[in-house]
Amino acid sequence: MFEGGDDPILGGDDTDSGSGDGPTDFNDTDSGAGGTPIGDGGDSGGDADGDGVADNKDAFPNDPTETADTDGDGVGDNADDFPTDPNEDTDSDEDGVGDNADDFPTDPNEDTDTDGDGVGDNADDFPTYPNEDTDTDGDGV
């Protein structure tokens, strides 16, 4: 089939040895076109974590669960609740507001305390008056 035994497109030998030769066998050590090892992410940088992305293109070359950090905050996109916001990476109460911006990071019903009185705006009858938070008689004053 191919002279020299290597398929220039898929790499590996031209016989079906069952070894998984080809571009999707990331543990294959045969050479592909140009002598680049199959499974190194298509580059000659190696792939220490075996995730299919070359180390020189992998933001986390030793972590097989992460390959990118879009916002550059040091937390991989898979683990980052806010992969495009460099100021946020976690939302503990899953309310859609990151912990850094959430006045109540463990309360999914609150995220803001406008008047700083320690009572969230959703529960505060007077969210802009720090000395008031409950309207016990319901008169709005």
Q: Is residue 86 one of the residues assigned to a domain?
A: no
Percent of the chain with pLDDT over 90: 61
pLDDT, mean of residues 83-102: 97
Q: How many domains, in total, are found in the chain?
A: 1
Residue at 138: amino acid letter: G
pLDDT, mean of residues 17-21: 45
Residue 71 CB burial class (10 angstroms; 0-12, 13-18, ≥19):
middle
Residue 33: pLDDT band by 50, 70, 90 thresholds? very low
Closest C-alpha to 111, from 95, 127, 134, 124: 95
Q: Is residue 82 one of the residues assigned to a domain?
A: no
Lowest mean pLDDT, pick from 36-40, 48-52, 89-93, 112-116 = 36-40
Residue at 100: amino acid letter: N
Q: Is residue 15 one of the residues assigned to a domain?
A: no
Q: Check residue 10 and give its pLDDT.
A: 42
Q: Is residue 55 one of the residues assigned to a domain?
A: no
Domain that includes residue 115, residue range:
103-136
Closest C-alpha to 123, from 110, 114, 132: 110
Q: Is residue 115 one of the residues assigned to a domain?
A: yes
Q: Is residue 32 one of the residues assigned to a domain?
A: no
Q: Check residue 136 and give its pLDDT.
A: 85
Q: Is residue 78 one of the residues assigned to a domain?
A: no
CA dihedral 38, 42, 44, 46 (to 10 degrees): -70
Residue 44: pLDDT band by 50, 70, 90 thresholds? low
Q: Check residue 47 and give its pLDDT.
A: 96
Give the CA angle between residues 33, 25, 5 to the nearest 5°.
40
Per-residue CA distances from 33 to 12, 20, 114 (Å): 9, 16, 62
pTM above 0.75, yes or no: no
